[in-house]
Structure 1
Amino acid sequence: MKLELRQIKYVTVSLLEKYFTGESIEYKKIFEIIIPIFVDQTFLILMSLLNTAMISSAGVAAVSAVSMVDSLNIFLANVFIAVATGGTVIVAQYKGNGNAAMVSRTATQAITAATIFSVITSVIVIIFYTPILNILFGKAEAEVFYNAKIYLIGSCLSYPLIAIFQAVNGSLRGVGNTKPCLKLSLLFNLTNTILNVVLISIFNLGVEGLVISTIVARILGTATSLIYIVRFNESIHFRLKNGLRIDYLILKKIMFIGLPFAAEQIFFNGGKLLTQTFIVDLGTLALTAFAIANSLAMLFQIGPNALGISSVTVVGQCIGRRNIQDARKFTQSLLGFSTILFIIAAAVLLPLFPLLIKMYNPPDEIIQTIFTMILISAIAQPIVWSQSFIMPSALRAAGDSNFTSIASLLSMWLIRVVLGYILGITLGFGIIGVWVAMIVEWGTRGIIFVWRFKGKKWYAHKLV
C-alpha cells in the first residue's frame, strides 16, 4: 500500500513538474495561486446557487426579476471590474519584473479608477432606471417588473462597494497573494448568505431582503478589504492620500488593458441582455428555466473559472519577465487541466441533477427543459469553453486586450445574438435554441483565440 502511494505521488509530482514548472515559476507557486481561487470560486458559486434557490421560495416572479436584473448587474459591474482587471495585469507584470514600488502605485490607481467608474455608473442608472427597465424588459409581467425595480435600485447603491472590493482582490491576485482574497471573499459571501437565510427564508422579505443582505455584506467586505491592505499587506502599501491623487502615467497603462475590456464587457453583456429580451418574449416560465439552468451550469465551471482567473497572474508574471516560452506552456497546461475538470464535474453532477433541481422547486413542466440545457452544456464545455474563456484571459495578461475584445464582440453579436434569435424565435426552438446559439458562439470564439495564440502578435505589447 505504501509503495503504491509513493508511486502515485511520484507520478503526480512528475506530471506537475512537466506541465506546471518553468524558468519563471514552479508548480508549487502556481498551485498556491490556483487553490485559494478555486476554493473562493467554489464558495462564490455555491452561495449564488443557494441564494437563487432561496429567492425561488418567493415565487417565479421573484426568480425572473432577479435573473433579469442580475443580467443587467453583470453588464454594468463588468465595466469597473474590467478596469480592476487592467490593474491586475499591470500589477502582475510589475511583480514579474521585480518592481515593488510600481506594484504598489499601480494597485492604488486601479482601486481609484474602479471606484470612479462605479460611482458614475451608479448615478446614471439610478437616474434613468425606469426607462432602462422599460426598454429591456417592458414586456415582462407587472409583478416581475415591480420586483426588478426594487432589486436594480438596491444593486446600484452597492456598485462602488463591489468595485473597491474587486479592485483590491484583483491587485492581490496580481502579486500572487491569493489567500487573503479567499478569506475576504468567504467573509463577504458567508455574510451575504446568512443574511439571506434570515431575511428571505425566515422573515419572508423576498427581493427586499435580498437587497438589504447584498448591501450590508458588501459594506462589510469592502471595509475589511481596505483595512487589510492599509494595515496588514506588505505588497500593496495602500494609502488613502495616494488613492486621492491620479497618476496619469500609470492610469494610462491600466486603461490600455481596462478600457478595451470594459468596452468588450459593455457590448458582450449587452448582447446577453438582448438575448434575454428574446427569452422575456417566450414567457415567465422560459425566463425561469433559463435562470435556473444558468445557475446550475456555473457548478460545472467552478474549477475552470479558477484557472481562468489564475492565468492572468501566471501569464502576466511570465510576460513581466519576458519569458514567452513559459507563458505559452502554462496557458496550454491550464487549458488541458480545465478540460479534465469539466469531465470530472460532468461525471459527478449530472447524476445529481434530480437532487439539485429540488432546491429551486420549479414547475414540473420546465424540469425536462432545464435538464436538456444542462446536458448540452455538459457535453460542449470540455470541448469549447476553455479556449473561449481561459485563452483570452492569458492573451489579455500579455497586453493583447484590443484583439481579444474585438473578437469577443464580433462573435457575440454576429453569432450568439443573431443565431439565438433565428433558432429561438424564427425557427421556434425556444429557450433550447437560444442555449445552443450560446454554445456555438463559444466554439467560434475559441477557434479565433487559438489561432491568435499560435502567432507572435499577442505578446508583442510592452507595458512595463
Structure 2
Amino acid sequence: MGNDRCSNSHLFTTKQLFALLLPLGLEQLLTIAIGMADTIMVSSYSESAVSAVSSVDLISYLFITLFSAFSTGGAVIVSQYIGRRDIKNASIAAKNLTAITVLISIAMTIIMLIAKDLIIGLVLGDIESSVINDAALYYIPIALSYPFLALFDSTTAISRSEAKTKRIFLSSLLMNIINISGNYILIHLFSLGALGAGISSLISRIIGALLMLLLMMRKDEECSLRGILRTKIELKHVKNITRIAIPSALDGALFQVGKLIVQAQIAALGTSSLAIHAIVCNFNGYCNIPQNAFILAVITLVGQSAGANRKDEERYWVRWSILWSIIITLLFAIPMYIFTPQVVSIYALNEATTLEAIPICRVCLIACTFLIPFAFIVPNALNANGDVKFTMAVSIISMWIFRVALVFFFIRVLKLGVSGVWYAMYSDWAFRGLIYTIRVSGSRWQNKYAIRE
C-alpha cells in the first residue's frame, strides 16, 4: 500500500482501513436492509410466499457456495500477489478467476433447471401446496441469475483484494434500488408474489454484474479484465486458485447440505415455523452487517500481509478484526434488542407467530455478537494464508455433529420447535470458534503457502 510498507509500521493506515471497511459495511447494511424489506413485502403478500422464498434461497445457497468459493480462492491469490507487488500475475489470476467462476455458474444453472422439481420436493417435502407452487415460481428466475451473480462475485472479490471497495458499495446500491423497486412494482402493483421477487433479483443481478465488469475493464485498472476473452487460462493460476477454492467449496457445499437437512426439519414444523425462521435469519443478517465486513476485509488484510512476508502483521490484523467487529456489532445489536417487538411486528404475521419470534430473535442478537467473530473471521484469516484444509475439516465436523445432530435432538426429543434449530446453530459457532482460536494462537498456520510457482 505505497509508502506505508515498512518493517516497523503497519501495512494499512487508518485512512486505508476506513476506505476498505466503510464501503463493505455500507454494502452489508444495504443488503440486509433490502433483504428485510423484501421479506416484509413478500410476507404482506402471503405467509406461504415468504416461506417459499426463504426455502428456495437455502437451495440456492448450496449452488452459489460452489462458485463463490472460487471467488474467495481467487481473492486470496490476488491479494498475495498484490502484497508481493507482482501486478502482472495478479491481473492474470484475476482473469482466470472470472472465467472459471462464470463457467461453473453456467453449469450450476443448467443443473438447477433440470432438477427443479426434484430439488424443491426434497427440501419442502409434504408442506402445503401453496408454498410449493410459490417456490417453483421463484426458483426459475433465481437459477437464471447465477451466471450474473458469479460474475459480480468474482469482480467484487478482485476489487476487495485491491482494497477498492467503494465501487462495490455503489454497484450494490444500484442493484438493491433496482431490486426493491422491482419488488414493489411486481409484487404489489402486478400481484406476482414470489415470482415478482425472483424477477427483480434476476434483473438487479444482471445490471450489477455488467456494471462491475465495465469498471474492471478500464485501462488504468490495477487488475484489469480488459481482453479477458483472449486471455489463456494458465494452469499455474488455476492450481493456486483451486488449492484454496476446492476445500472451501467442499466445506461450503456440505455446510449448505446440512442447512437443507435442517430446513426440512423446520418445514415439518409448519408454515409458521418457516416464517419465524426467515425473520430470525433477517435479524442474524442485520447483526452480521459489521461482522461480514470484517470477514471479507480480513482476506485483504492477512492476504497482503502474507504476500509481503509480514507474519507479525498477519497476527495483528486477526486480533484487530475480532476486537473491532465485536465493538461495532454491539452498536447494531443493542438498539435492535430493545426494539425487537416493534421490528418483528412489521412482518405482519399473526399474533402467536409474532410472540414466538421475539425471544428467538433476541437470543440470536447476543449469540451473533460474541460468537461470529471467532467462528467466521478467524477461519477467513487462516484461509488467506493458505490454511484451508484445516478450516474445512473443522467446519465439516462441527456442522454435522453440532448443528445437524443437535437439531434432531432439540426438535424431536426436547420438542423445542424452531428455537431448537438456533440453539444447535449457536453450539456449532461456539465449537468451531474455539478450535479456530486455538489454531490461530499457534504458528503452524503461518507456514502454509497459498501461491506455489
TM-score scaled by structure 1? 0.93
Unaligned 5+ residue runs, structure 1?
1-16
**2:200 aligned with 1:226:** no
Paired residue for 2:275?
288
Task: Tell me if the contact between 1:411 and 1:444 (Cα under 8 Å) persists in the aligned partners.
Answer: yes
Note if 1:356 corresponds to 2:319.
no
Aligned residue number for residue 133 of structure 1: 120
Once the two structures are overlaid, the 10-residue window that deviates more, 147-156 or 234-243, is 234-243
Matches within 5 A, 1:189-268: 189-231=176-218, 234-242=221-229, 245-268=232-255
Q: Secondary structure at the match of 2:339?
A: helix
In the alignment, structure 1 residue 100 sits paired with structure 2 residue 75? no
Structure 1 match to 2:165: 178
Contact persistence 2:341–2:358 (CA under 8 A):
no
Measured after TM superposition, the shift of residue 281 of structure 1 is 0.8
1:232, distance to aligned residue in structure 2 (A) = 5.8
- The separation in 2 between residues aligned to 1:235 and 1:314, in whole angstroms, is 18
Match status 1:445 vs 2:432: yes
- Match of residue 368, structure 1, among 345, 355, 361: 355
Offset of residue 199 of structure 1: 1.1
Distance 1:241 1:444, change over 3 A: closer
The alpha-carbon deviation at position 379 of structure 1 amounts to 2.2
Shift of residue 240 of structure 1?
4.0
Instruction: Give, as a single letter, the amino acid of the residue that structure 2 aligns with 1:304.
Output: Q
Aligned-partner Cα distance in 1 for 2:245–2:78: 13
In the alignment, structure 1 residue 149 sits paired with structure 2 residue 133: no
Q: How many residue pairs align between the two structures?
A: 445
Structure 2 unpaired stretches of 5+: none
Contact 1:168–1:225 (CA under 8 A) maintained in structure 2: yes
Give the equivalent residue in structure 2 for 1:323. Answer: 310
Once the two structures are TM-superposed, the CA of residue 32 in structure 1 deviates from its matched residue by: 1.4
Distance 1:101 1:138, change over 3 A: same
* Distance in 1 separating the partners of 2:377 and 2:313: 16
Give the superposition deviation at 1:358.
Answer: 2.9
Q: Deviations over 1:108-166 (max 9, x none)?
A: 11111110110111111111111111122122211101111121222111100100011
Q: Which amino acid aligns with 1:370?
A: A
User: Given that residues 25 and 293 in structure 2 are in contact (C-alpha distance below 8 angstroms), is that contact kept between their aligned partners in structure 1?
Assistant: yes
Give, in angstroms, the shift of residue 47 of structure 1. Answer: 0.7
The letter of the residue matching 2:160 is R
1:389-430 residue CA offsets vs partner (Å, 9 max, x unmatched): 111111111111111111111100111000011012222111
Tell me the alpha carbon deviations over residues 188-215 of structure 1, each in whole angstroms, 9 at most, x when there is no partner: 1111111111111222211111121111
* Alpha-carbon spacing, 1:306–1:261, altered in 2? closer, same or farther (3 Å): same
- Is 1:124 aligned to 2:111, yes or no? yes
2:223 aligned counterpart, secondary structure: coil
Asked if residue 411 in structure 1 is aligned to residue 398 in structure 2, the reply is yes
Judge conservation of contact 1:109–1:243 (CA < 8 Å) in 2. no
Instruction: Find the aligned partners of 1:91 and 1:189 in 2 and give their Cα distance.
Output: 27
Report the alpha carbon displacement of residue 227 of structure 1 after superposing the two structures with TM.
1.1
In the superposition, relative to structure 1, how do residues 463 and 298 fare at CA in structure 2: closer, same or farther (>3 Å)?
Answer: closer
Structure 1 residues 243, 403: closer, same or farther in 2, change over 3 A?
farther
> Are 1:268 and 1:412, in contact at CA under 8 Å, matched by a contact in 2?
yes
Give 2:295's aligned residue.
Answer: 308
Which residue does 1:270 correspond to in 2?
257
Q: 1:244 and 1:73, CA in 2 relative to 1: closer, same or farther beyond 3 A?
A: farther
| TM-score relative to the length of structure 2 | 0.95
- Residue 39 in structure 1 maps to residue 26 in structure 2: yes
- Provide the C-alpha distance between the structure 2 equivalents of 1:359 and 1:253, rounded to a whole number of angstroms: 47
Letter in 2 for 1:178: T
Which residue in 2 is equivalent to 1:335? 322
Amino acid at match of 2:397: L
The CA deviation at 1:41 is 0.7
Q: Secondary structure at the match of 1:231?
A: coil
Which residue in 2 is equivalent to 1:400? 387
Please report how far the alpha carbon of residue 284 of structure 1 lies from its aligned counterpart in structure 2 after TM superposition.
Answer: 0.7
The code of the aligned residue for 1:392 comes to P
Q: How big is each residue's C-alpha offset from its partner over 1:286-326, in whole Å with a ceiling of 9 and x where there is no partner? A: 11111111112211111111111111111111011111111
Aligned alpha-carbon RMSD (Å)? 1.5
Distance 1:459 1:242 in 2: 36
Alpha-carbon deviation of 1:171?
0.5
Indicate if the aligned counterparts of 2:71 and 2:97 stay in contact, CA closer than 8 A. Answer: yes
Matched, 1:69 2:74: no
Q: 1:221 is aligned with what amino acid? A: G
CA distance in structure 1 between the partners assigned to 2:334 and 2:129 by the alignment: 41
Structure 1 residue 43: Cα displacement: 0.6
- The 1:356/1:106 distance shift into structure 2, 3 A limit, reads same
Query: Does the aligned pair in 1 maintain the 2:95–2:231 contact within 8 Å?
Result: no
* Greater than 3 Å deviation, 4+ residue runs: 240-244
Distance in 1 separating the partners of 2:146 and 2:160: 21
For residues 422-461 of structure 1, the aligned pairs below 5 Å read 422-461=409-448
* Shift of residue 22, structure 1, vs aligned partner: 4.1
AA of the residue aligned to 1:305: N
Is the 1:157–1:215 contact (alpha carbons within 8 Å) kept by the matching residues of 2? Answer: yes
The answer to whether the 8 A contact 1:22-1:326 is kept is: no
TM-aligned CA deviation for residue 233 of structure 1 = 5.1
> What is the rounded CA distance, in whole Å, between the counterparts of 2:198 and 2:255 in structure 1?
26
Is the contact between residue 87 and residue 110 of structure 1 (CA under 8 Å) also seen in structure 2? yes
Deviation at 1:86? 0.6
Q: Which amino acid aligns with 2:69?
A: A
Letter in 1 for 2:135: A
Distance in 1, matches of 2:240 and 2:202, equals: 32
Contact 1:112 1:244 in 2 (8 A): no
The one-letter code of the counterpart of 1:457 is R
Whether the 8 Å contact between 2:291 and 2:325 is mirrored in structure 1 is yes
Code of the aligned partner of 1:438: M
C-alpha contact (below 8 Å) 1:78/1:266 kept by paired residues: yes
CA distance in 1, matches of 2:351, 2:69: 39
Q: Which amino acid aligns with 1:137?
A: L
- Identify the residue that residue 15 of structure 2 maps to in structure 1: 28
